[in-house]
Every structure is written in structure tokens, then in C-alpha cells.
Amino acid sequence: MSVSALAIQAFSEIDDQTCEQRIQAAREQLGERLVILGHHYQRDEVFQHTDFAGDSLKLSRQAADSAADYIVFCGVHFMAEVADILSRPEQVAILPDLSAGCSMADMADLNHVEKAWQELASVLDPDQHITPVTYINSAANLKAFCGSHGGIVCTSTNARSVLEWSFSQRDKVLFFPDQHLGRNTGFAMDIPLDQMVIWDYDQPMGGLSKEQIDQAKIILWKGFCSVHQMFQPEQIDNFKQRYPETKIIAHPESPFEVCQKSDYVGSTEYIINTIRDAEPGTRWLVATELNLVNRLHEQYKHEGKNVHFMSPTVCMCSTMFRIDPQHLLWVLENLLAGNVVNQIKVPEEVAEQARLALDRMLEVSS
């Protein structure tokens, strides 16, 4: 069917309650042709409509296993790209709002990474000595770069197994874009801090000397998550003065000092499962995105578990927040009208190499 797409403007004024009813109706009509995947950072009004929720690894697996014609991804751009890469060619991945990117993913681009690879070649042969590892929070062409240079993708769940695999291939790792995940994981594997150097992509040779590169085990890209970098060790100290019994749990995108002071460090799924399995009456200070922490607070207060957000200031992921019920409804009613809007399609030559790096990751984390 070829009809002109329904315009988003007509949806932006629809109130949340009407959206909720119409989204439910659209889901019923689309039936098994549709699957809605949602990341844990999605706001409640969207999260309630997901068929599957998860962290990046779980959602990647879900996308790879789904039989639906349409995979609507309530998350950010790189997640929908991964869904497109791992699904069958005839399946369609959709991101309800194309402006839902990830500011950390944007901190590494292919030009800068290729330049780094060339500059490193003046010190050693990178294809012999360095495994490139990209966090899944990155553009598809960086995953393709890793695929074609013997590298791999990681998520916050499997970063350690991925690094172990990487060191079994070559003696060094170039880790991008998140320095914190790289440093926190490397340190937990007993790699000393002085063997993890920062590659500053704005400086020649990353701002490093030949000796620093020679001695490094992990070269960390100078990227970070603007949400998680708001968490500070003083926030833990202040809170513990009031409630010394508090358990601290942090996402590994948080700064090193925060993770060092935490009792538990792991992905969003790990954080959820740890608090779910905790004893009633326990108190938790959590370093991850606000929508998830609020949901955990609401979910477990009836079991007497006290869940608190670590930062005194609000830090939400503003791009995850761009997915709202109005955009979700717009996408679904367009599908019912025979239109695909906001499809995410990775060019096949990029997807093929990126799939190599993603498949290595899925293999290592199985």
C-alpha cells in the first residue's frame, strides 16, 4: 500500500492518556508483526508498552531472535542500528524519534579512530598488537572498523570477557568511546592505572609519547557519559554519614572513584536484579539514570527496600527521554496505514563488518 505518511505534527498535541489507549489498540492490530523493545532508561509512559525491556546486551539478543516484521526500538540510535544489523534483511528497525542519539557515542567518529590507528602505526603495527574494542554505544561504522581490524564490541555486561578475549588475540587494546567503562573493567582485571592511558583525539598522537604507548595495556578514548559523570564520591560519603548501612551500586560508566567506593558495579540489568534479590529493609544508593532509579524506588518500596538516586541534582538521559508516547503512537499508526517512518537502515557493506564484531561479542558472552 502506498499512502502518504501521517505527519508527526498531528500527534504532538495528543495527551498521554489518549496516546496510551491508541498505542494499545495499534499493538493489538499489528499483533505478531510488531515487537517493541525498550531500554531500562525509558520513561514510564513509554516503558509500559514494551514487549521486552533490557540492557544493551539483552536487547541485542532479543532483536537477533525476533520474528516480527517491525522492531520498534524505544532507546537510542545505536541500539536501533544494532537491531537492524542483527535482524534478518526483510525485518524493519524503527527509532520513534531520530534525534534520540547518545552523546557518548558521538564522542568517537570513524575519522578520528582511523587517524588514531594511523598514528599508532608510527609506534607499532596496530593490526599485530592492538585489538580495537568498541563499546556498543557507538556508531555502526565504528563497529565495522572493529570487525575489519580483528576487533570486537562490548557492553557493560560483558566488558570483562570481551577484554579477556581481546588480550588473548593481541597484547594491547584500544577502547572507545567510554574511558570509564574501559578503566573500571581493566582495573578489576588487575591492570594498573598507569598502564591505562588516555587517547585525547584532539591532540597529535593522542597527546601520548612513544614510551607511554609502549607501556600501555589499554589505550582509553577520551569519551564519557554526561549522565554518569555527574556522580561523585563525595555524594556517597555524604549519604553514608546519614545512613551508614547503605549499599552502593553503580553503572560502570560512572567515574573510577565512584566505582571504587561501590559495593556492586554492573549493567542496568545487573542493578535491577541485585536490588530485586536484596533483603527487605535494605537501603540502596544507585548511580545510574534517573528514570530507572525512580522505577526501582516505586517497585520495591512496598518490600521495605529504600532505593535512592546518588546525585542531588537531576540527571536524566535527555536523548532517551526524546522517545515519548506521541512519537511511539505516530510510528505505530503509520505502520497500520501502510507506512514505515523513521526506519534505521545500516548500509550492507557497513553492516557486514559490524556484524563480525557483534557476533564475536555474542560468542564471547554466551
Site residue total, ligand 13P (CB under 6 A): 11
- In the complex with ligand 13P, the residue whose CB is nearer, 149 or 222, is 222
Query: Does 81 help bind ligand SF4 (rule: CB under 6 A)?
Result: no
Q: How far is the CB of 253 from ligand 13P (least distance, A)?
A: 5
Which residue in 288, 284, 254, 242 sits closest to 268, CA to CA? 288
Query: Does 268 help bind ligand 13P (rule: CB under 6 A)?
Result: yes
Provide DSSP, 23-78: HHHHHHHHGGGEEEEEETTS-HHHHTT-SEEE-HHHHHHHHHH---SEEEEES-HH
Residue 254's binding partner out of ligand SF4, ligand 13P, none, with CB under 5 to 8 Å set by partner kind: none
Q: CA-CA distance, 46 to 179, in Å (whole number)?
A: 30
Q: Which neighbouring-strand residues pair with 248?
A: 285
Angle between helices 110-120 and 140-148 (to 10 degrees): 30
- In the complex with ligand SF4, the residue whose CB is nearer, 36 or 76, is 76
- In the complex with ligand SF4, the residue whose CB is nearer, 135 or 330, is 135
- In the complex with ligand 13P, the residue whose CB is nearer, 55 or 333, is 55
User: How far is CA 188 from each of CA 80, 263, 317, rounded to the nearest angstrom?
Assistant: 30, 13, 27
Among 134, 138, 158, 267, binds ligand 13P (CB under 6 A): 267
Query: Does 335 help bind ligand 13P (rule: CB under 6 A)?
Result: no
Q: CA-CA distance, 81 to 42, in Å (whole number)?
A: 18
Residue with cell 540489568: 269
Query: Does 100 help bind ligand 13P (rule: CB under 6 A)?
Result: no
* CB 76, CB 319: distance < 8 Å: yes
Q: Could you say which DSSP state residue 223 is in?
A: B
Residue 103's binding partner out of ligand 13P, ligand SF4, none, with CB under 5 to 8 Å set by partner kind: ligand SF4
Q: CA-CA distance, 326 to 333, in Å (whole number)?
A: 11
Query: Does 230 help bind ligand SF4 (rule: CB under 6 A)?
Result: no
For residues 17 to 46, the per-residue mask of contacts with ligand SF4, x marking binding by CB under 6 A and - elsewhere, is ------------------------------
What are the residues binding ligand 13P (CB under 6 A)? 40, 55-56, 137, 155-156, 225, 251, 253, 267-268
What are the residues binding ligand SF4 (CB under 6 A)? 76, 102-104, 137, 225, 227, 253, 289, 317, 319-320
